[in-house]
Homo-oligomer: A and B are copies of this chain.
Amino acid sequence: MTEIKDKSLETFFTELASKAPTPGGGSAAAVMGAQSAALTSMVCNLTIGKPKFAEVEADMQALLEKSEALRVKLTDMIKADVDVFNRLMATYGLPKETDEQKAVRSAAIQEALKEATEVPLTCALACREAIDLSRLAAEKGNPGVISDAGVAAMAGYGALKSAALNVYINAGSLKDRDFAEAKLAALESLLQGSEVAAEEIYRIVKTKL
């Protein structure tokens, strides 16, 4: 089967729109996040090597390395979201006739839910990083392409808030409340200040246009 990242944009949108349960919002979040990282890379690539911006050359090289690693990570998360969803759905399909089967099924569901909480949390972490990287691009990148840093900030913010929804859903169904609360606390710390950060980056960009 063709992996989602290898499908065309149009096919991806069509599958997203369809009644098939995947790809869904989790993959869409990863796609937005990958766009954010890619746009930060673009600003770096259009700044590096130009004598006019020699002063920030090293910063931009370091930023590009981070944004490219993040782009790879977020691209992989498009599939990770689908995989964890499918694993979770498979556990719901386990037999539940005998008490033993019920116990096995319930434990498997809970295990899959833990993973289905962690995967979007990892995505949210990467998206928060994408926002933070876009700030460096907005502050130090080539002003001629600075709007792309603003788009990177907005895409990263949209991606973070989107990934958060999948953490909420799955954490809500977890019986291990200590685990759930720890993951929700980690999520809150990622969300904390993210809106203000995205707005600030957007404002920095707007003043440079």
List residues of chain A with CB under 8 Å of any chain B CB.
4-10, 12-14, 16-19, 21, 24-25, 28-29, 31-32, 34-35, 37-39, 41-42, 45-46, 67-68, 71, 75, 78, 145, 147-148, 150-152, 154-155, 157-159, 161-162, 165-166, 168-169, 172, 202, 205-206, 209
Which B residue sits closest to A25, measured CB to CB?
B151
The one of B17, B71, B202 in contact with A13, judged by C-beta atoms closer than 8 angstroms, is: B71
Q: Which residues of B contact A162 (CB under 8 A)?
A: 150-151, 154-155
- Given known contacts A32-B35, A158-B155, A169-B209, A150 and B25 CB-to-CB distance under 8 angstroms: yes
Instruction: Say yes or no: B13 contacts A4, CB within 8 Å.
Output: no
Q: What CA separation (Å) do A172 and B146 show in the bound complex?
A: 15
